[in-house]
Amino acid sequence: MNDTPGNAPDDRDPAVHDPNGNASYGHKPFERSRSHFADRITADGREGRPVEAGRYRLVVSRACPWASRALVSRRLLGLESALSLAVADPLQDDRSWRFTLDEGGRDPVLGIRYLSEAYDAREHGYPGGVSVPAIVDIPTRTLVTNDYQQITLDLATEWTALHRPGAPDLYPEHLRAEIDEVMEGIYRDVNNGVYRAGFADGQGEYEAAYADVFRRLDLVSERLTRQRYLVGDTVTEADIRLFTTLVRFDAVYHGHFKCNRNKISEDPVLWAYARDLYQTPGFGDTVDFRHIKQHYYRVHTGINPTGIVPLGPALSGWLTPHHREELGGRPFGDGTPPGPVAPGEEVPAEGRP
């Protein structure tokens, strides 16, 4: 997660460097920083890191929408046995993401207590934020990349030799220009827009971000009245990127980030679309609503100083019929759904509807 204002030269993340999550941004607009470590893992190793089964570990927080993209992509593509998974505690201390969910407070594969240790191994004294998703080289316990925009694209296009049989094509070449265009607007106005609204420290800044969020959601809703998925007739990277914001919207962004014109559940098209994806294997089975709410409401004390975590909204609606199949489309194209969730990676009952 890289909830980063662009005030300081190193674009530090308030939820990482300030354990209270306070945001005092000097009336500068929220600006998400670029990933500092942008190495790529490619099929031929042309950028120095070759795809290799078992060599790397994906570190995520289930609270983080940017990390959740990687979780969904990894599931849909069947990369569980090739790319192992570490899940950080949704709550952070002054050293940021920690492995307190694991026995002894250490990641069992990397042997480290904090993700920052892998960052330090890569660049000692690195001054920037420790963000997820991150991919770590297991033999050296060294960070490879935290480039949340590129990681999932590479999982879809560079890791193909390790995809499961029947894996969908999440970034089909003939649709990439359209996918990129759709994703750019969604990223700017929705994925990042909710943060611009939530971390705004001026009324005008907040109102501009709020307007962008709902203008884009209205455009997306109109688009989805005619087709089941954002681009083409199958699930693509664009759907993954929109889903991870929609699934957090009513639980967090509507109240906590003041994006409260309406809930997603009050837009019939977006609510049906979100439920369709949630009920598609590989999407909802990666979502932990408890982690999401614990992180946002307890870490961002500059926004929620009491640290009280709301009990609602009710989650049962996520499992109700959506009828989106009436628009046609096949979620996996000529492929097949992913198999059961890997042992040990199941979302606990308290995080599910």
Q: Residues forming the annotated binding site?
A: 97
Given a contact cutoff of 8 angstroms between Cβ atoms, the answer to whether 190 and 230 are in contact is no
Pairing of strands 56-60, 134-137: antiparallel
- Cα angle 196, 255, 304; round to 5: 80
Identity of the residue numbered 263? K
Residue 161's Cβ-count burial label (10 Å; 0-12, 13-18, 19+) is: exposed
Q: Report the catalytic residues.
A: 64, 195
- CA contacts within 13 A on the Cβ side of 104: 7
Residue ranges for the binding site for glutathione? 97
CA distance 294 to 292: 6
Written as six digits, the tokens of 251 are 């639980």
Identify the CA nearest to 58 among candidates 121, 145, 124: 145
List phi, psi (to 5°) of 135: -115, 130
